[in-house]
Amino acid sequence: MWIKICGNTSLADAQHAANSGASALGFIFAPSPRRVTVDQVRAISPYLPRNVERYGVFVDASFDEIAATVHDADLTGVQLHANNDPDLPCRLRAHFAAEPASCPISILAVLAFSDDMEPQMEAVARDAARHGAIDALLIDSRSPIGHGGTGTRYDWQAAQHMFRRVAPQLRLIAAGGLNPDNVAEAIRTLTPWGVDVATGVEAAPGRKDPVRVQAFTRNARDTFAQLEKSRRPRASRR
């Protein structure tokens, strides 16, 4: 079970998300109401639990920009939107693996949901198996105005078949329009490896609602636990 709270802009919000049970936190380095600077995140990272992942979210960013930001902001992962360089994940993996005393960097690729995206998902899964560059694939909502943070959901029933076909080959993360009230439904329908939320736990763009963050992580963890329990074989009775 993996839960990411994205779009953090303050130490208080990031710490609350971590203390509420988030597995990972996201910081957006791209045009967005939730955009942050390297200096902002550098001031936040030292005060977060070391077991909570810290992701930089990048949109069509260059190798040099991503590598420098990961280093300077003390990040543990990258999330790649609108990446036009198919070799970028492999280059990033090789770069960070070669750094002495470097922690492993997790890499998430992002695809916007569409009815005909299954071949794309399978291609990413094959590349991940062959090169090991992608740790997980995040499926977000499609929007003509931006990448991520749309607050709108896609058709989970339509996506259900794709998730279940590709899930054995690759970790899949559900995102797009999630909130405390519907995250359980999304998990039961899609059975993803993880979930990601930004706008669904906000009081205002870039400012988290502590109650909604706590409710989201609790509902997600409870639902993951229920699914895991239902999968366990029952002991035979004599």
From the candidates 6, 13, 135, 196, give the one annotated as an active-site residue: 6
Q: Residue 63: CB partners within 8 Å, gap ≥ 6? A: 85, 88, 91, 92, 95
Distance between CA atoms of residues 193 and 163, nearest Å: 10
87 belongs to the catalytic site? no
Q: Of 59, 60, 51, 52, whose CA–CA distance to 34 is shortest?
A: 59
Distance between CA atoms of residues 139 and 15, nearest Å: 26
Rounded to a whole number of angstroms, the distance between the first and last alpha carbons of the chain is 34
Q: Of 200, 203, 148, 195, whose CA–CA distance to 177 is shortest?
A: 200
For residue 111, CA distances in Å to 29, 34, 36, 123, 232 come to 18, 20, 23, 12, 31
Asked if 150 and 180 touch (Cβ cutoff 8 Å), the reply is no
From the candidates 74, 85, 127, 140, give the one annotated as an active-site residue: 140
140 belongs to the catalytic site? yes
Q: Of 170, 197, 42, whose CA–CA distance to 108 is shortest?
A: 170
Distance between CA atoms of residues 94 and 89, nearest Å: 9
What are the residue numbers of the active site?
6, 140
